[in-house]
């Protein structure tokens, strides 16, 4: 009888732990505004695109010749000011756009 009592207690506790639980349903938090730059490369060669903030240059992506691409800006805050830079793959030409305030999608055409 002494052995059966702890076994019964364990079964009762185990059954209570597996019972229904209260669930709270909420909507997902609102997503932060997606920041991006849409680069239109009108050149006959590819360009490497950079964002420069506080003197730190961040490589974003390479955009092929005669194409357009939307590049997400990860790690940048909405409302911050950056400079955009596109450098041809041969390094001979650089195109800059200074003092770009980030908000939504910014269009950057080269040249």
Dihedral (C-alpha) 25, 31, 32, 35: value to the nearest 10 degrees?
170
Question: Bridge-partner residues for 71, per DSSP?
Answer: 37
For 34-71, what is each residue's pLDDT tens digit?
Answer: 999 999 999 999 999 999 999 999 999 999 999 999 99
* 8 Å CB contact between 70 and 86: no
Question: Which pTM was predicted?
Answer: 0.70
Give the CATH number of domain 33-110. Answer: 2.60.40.2890
Alpha carbons 20 and 101: distance in angstroms, whole number: 51
Q: To the nearest whole number, what is the mean pLDDT of the chain?
A: 87
Show Cβ contacts of residue 14 under 8 Å, excluding neighbours closer than 6 positions: none
């Amino acid at each position: 009888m002494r052995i059966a009592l702890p076994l019964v207690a364990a079964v009762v506790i185990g059954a209570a732990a597996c019972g229904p639980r209260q669930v709270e349903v909420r909507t997902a938090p609102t997503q932060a505004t997606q920041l991006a730059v849409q680069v239109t490369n009108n050149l006959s060669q590819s360009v490497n695109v950079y964002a420069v903030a506080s003197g730190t240059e961040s490589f974003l992506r390479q955009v092929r010749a005669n194409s357009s691409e939307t590049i997400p800006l990860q790690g940048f805050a909405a409302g911050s000011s950056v400079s955009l830079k596109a450098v041809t793959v041969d390094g001979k030409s650089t195109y800059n756009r200074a003092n770009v305030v980030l908000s939504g999608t910014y269009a950057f055409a080269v040249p």
